[in-house]
Amino acid sequence: MKKKAIISLVIILIVILMLFAGSQNIHFENKGETVKGYLTNIEAVTAMYCKQITPLEEFGKQIEQMCREGRRAEIDNYVISESLSMEEAALLAEKEPALKHMKEYLNLLDEVCILFADINNDGIEDIIEYAPAQDRYDMISELSNRIYTYLGNENEEYKLVYSQPLFDTKAEYDDIIQILLYENETYLLFSDQEDQYKMTIYWLSEGIPCGRFEFEYQCIDVNAEVIKNEILNSEIINKSMDIYHNINLNHCSCSRLNESLNYGNAETMITDERKIGELKAGYGKEEMAELSVLLKEYENAWLWMIPNAEIAFMGDINNDGNVEEYIKQTSSVWICDLSVLKTRQGRRYNVLFGNGEWKCNVRHGGKNRIFYYMKTGNEETDFKKLCGLDIWANELIPQYFLVDETPQGNITYIIYQDISDFEQRIEGYIIKEGTYEHVVSVKYTPVLECSSNYEFGENKGVNYAIYRTEDQRSVRLAWIDEEEAPKEQINQNIRCMIEKKIAEIGEEECSFVYLGYWPIKATDEILILEYSIAYDIPWGNEWDRKWTEIYSMEVDLITGECREIDSEERNAMSKEESQQW
């Protein structure tokens, strides 16, 4: 019996080793038929027995650990991509036929993210183009996000190698979309500009997605560590979750905006409109003076977002029996490249004061900080003038302050947050006679619950990309495999059908503007395309923009035939039917 058990065990081990060897042959040798890094069914069985972990899972664990430890910003260390402006993309399009469709983006203000990076580790820069679904008046276009990959060669030529006109992941063009390199593997990151606690990461091989990692974290508690406690307001401990998320609104889905937490029981709102107006004027003047100095550090920069403080308070901050009057706001200042005004494309930066301005990439954009303007009597003042307290003295960013009454006198609490939106500090000061006493210090850190989901499998995409024609009156298909036929006949048939619809609007009275299009089914055999025509009609001395109804056509990519389909046939498709994976 023992001998049979040993023989059975040996057989199992041999089978596992054979499967593993076979999977490795597929994994590394047969790159023409599959994708390096693509987890096949054989590899999945092997991994189950051998406890292997894929590079994507390894990277996912690293991401989770960084987020748990407040090091999410370190993801920037892995970024290898640059975002091209529409002007830069248009220059590339002038000399590269495969990219000529990018010239139109300057004129149509299409919302497109174009990333430039070496995605296949051959030392040559490549391009990933991502565009969210175009706007349409019936708001049904969530799936029409497109992504194209172009690999470059030593002759500075580009070849389309991957196309998915119905990409699952929805992001805005100015969200966080970046190419990452970790342990010699390349990844494509999508994360919302505001809700950065959620992200989707695609594992790429030769520019083709072969795995997907979806990650999200949720704050389930806040650790409140009391460092100094001479006069401690118990609410600082009891309301730690509320206080933490009142500052960090986008930390997770625990958004708890509560304006009452922004002022204390020793503060009174000012209702005198004249006083409020004076404080607002002083606030705006001081803010613009600071910004003017900082803008000199940036070339071709424009103020994009300026916080406006609306609520004024009074309180005896320095315990001298006379109230200070002040206006305060927790918000952020952003500046952007001038190109944003022209093309809606370009880089945006946020500005921090204190130790000097801090210029950052998109991930850290929009850092909140405190803005305030204060008067004592008829003189302008601030915390440094009032008591020598420099609220910008350390690396933490002051968010807001409040004043509470205690038996020892009024205490001013200043709430700080670190650059990673993770750790917060509440520091309490009793301010008297031109100086201050530090009496309270509490440290907040979140307790996170993380969820991860991994999917493996090659996203094959389709064998063609969909571009708008140069005259903007139609779309054309460009095939990855140039031998595919009948490609020219297909493009002619598509144009013929669309031109008939354009003719119906009567260009004698109206002015054609451009074609909006939305693929709703894309496989190598069938393309179903919805489209609408934008046109202007005279309205007095101006033009009024109109859209036709949304039409649908089915293109048979085998025969080249095109036919119009109705909404009933179009709406009968499920999401699964619309994509080719």
Percentage of the chain lying above the pLDDT 90 cut = 44
pLDDT category of residue 505 using cuts at 50, 70 and 90: confident
pLDDT of residue 29: 32
Residue 474 domain-assigned?
no
Strand partners, 478: 465
- The residue written with tokens 């650790």 in the block is 223
Residue 233 domain-assigned?
yes
The answer, yes or no, to whether residue 228 has pLDDT greater than 70, is yes
Tokens in use for 215? Answer: 């990650």
Q: Name the least confident of 317-321, 430-434, 569-573.
A: 569-573
Q: How many domains does the chain divide into?
A: 4
Considering 449, 473, 497, which residue would you say is the last residue of a domain?
Answer: 449
Residues 121 and 249 occupy one common structural domain: no
Residue 461 domain-assigned?
no
pLDDT of residue 170: 87
**Mean pLDDT of the chain, nearest integer:** 80
Q: What is the CA radius of gyration of the chain?
A: 30
Q: pLDDT tens across 412-446, in order?
A: 999 998 877 889 999 999 999 999 999 999 999 99
pLDDT of residue 573: 56
- The region that residue 33 occupies, defined by phi over 0 for left and psi between -120 and 50 for alpha, beta otherwise, is alpha
Residues 195 and 246 occupy one common structural domain: no
Residue 182 domain-assigned?
yes
Residue 469 domain-assigned?
no
Strand partners, 162: 149
**H or E, element range at 289:** helix 273-295
Q: pLDDT tens across 507-549, in order?
A: 677 888 889 899 989 999 999 999 999 899 888 778 888 889 9
- Rounded to 5, what percent of the chain is helix, strand, coil? 30, 35, 35
Nearest by Cα to 62 from 80, 75, 77, 50: 75
For the four alpha carbons of 245, 248, 253 and 258, in that order, the dihedral sign comes to positive
pLDDT category of residue 497 using cuts at 50, 70 and 90: very high
The answer, yes or no, to whether residue 127 has pLDDT greater than 50, is yes
Residues 6+ apart with CB under 8 A from 301: 295, 335, 336, 337, 338, 349
The answer, yes or no, to whether residue 84 has pLDDT greater than 90, is no
Residue 302 domain-assigned?
yes
Q: Which domain holds residue 351?
A: 225-449
The answer, yes or no, to whether residue 19 has pLDDT greater than 60, is no
Cis peptide before 538 (omega within 30 of 0): no
| Average of per-residue pLDDT across 19-27 | 39
Residues 307 and 244 occupy one common structural domain: yes
The answer, yes or no, to whether residue 22 has pLDDT greater than 80, is no
Residues 502 and 438 occupy one common structural domain: no
Residues 160 and 232 occupy one common structural domain: no
Alpha-carbon span 432 to 437, nearest angstrom:
8
Residues 46 and 67 occupy one common structural domain: no
Residues 322 and 420 occupy one common structural domain: yes
Considering 142, 173, 206, which residue would you say is the last residue of a domain?
Answer: 206
The answer, yes or no, to whether residue 363 has pLDDT greater than 70, is no
| Average of per-residue pLDDT across 67-94 | 89
Considering 206, 241, 263, which residue would you say is the last residue of a domain?
Answer: 206
Residues 556 and 512 occupy one common structural domain: yes
pLDDT of residue 234: 75
Q: Give the residue with greater pLDDT, 338 vs 492.
A: 492
pLDDT category of residue 557 using cuts at 50, 70 and 90: very high
Nearest by Cα to 148 from 170, 126, 172: 126
Q: pLDDT tens across 455-471, in order?
A: 998 777 999 999 999 88
Strand partners, 373: 327
pLDDT of residue 337: 60
Strand partners, 325: 314, 375
The pTM assigned to this predicted structure is 0.79
Residue 216 domain-assigned?
no
| Average of per-residue pLDDT across 224-241 | 83
Using alpha carbons, list the distances in angstroms from residue 219 to 68, 278, 367, 422, 445.
10, 41, 20, 11, 10
| Average of per-residue pLDDT across 397-402 | 90
Residue 230 domain-assigned?
yes
Residues 107 and 175 occupy one common structural domain: yes
Using alpha carbons, list the distances in angstroms from residue 498 to 51, 133, 137, 509.
55, 20, 19, 19
pLDDT of residue 513: 87
Residues 509 and 382 occupy one common structural domain: no
Residue type at 457 in one-letter notation: G
Residues 168 and 248 occupy one common structural domain: no
The count of other CB atoms within 10 Å of the CB of residue 525 is: 13
The answer, yes or no, to whether residue 64 has pLDDT greater than 60, is yes
Residues 538 and 413 occupy one common structural domain: no
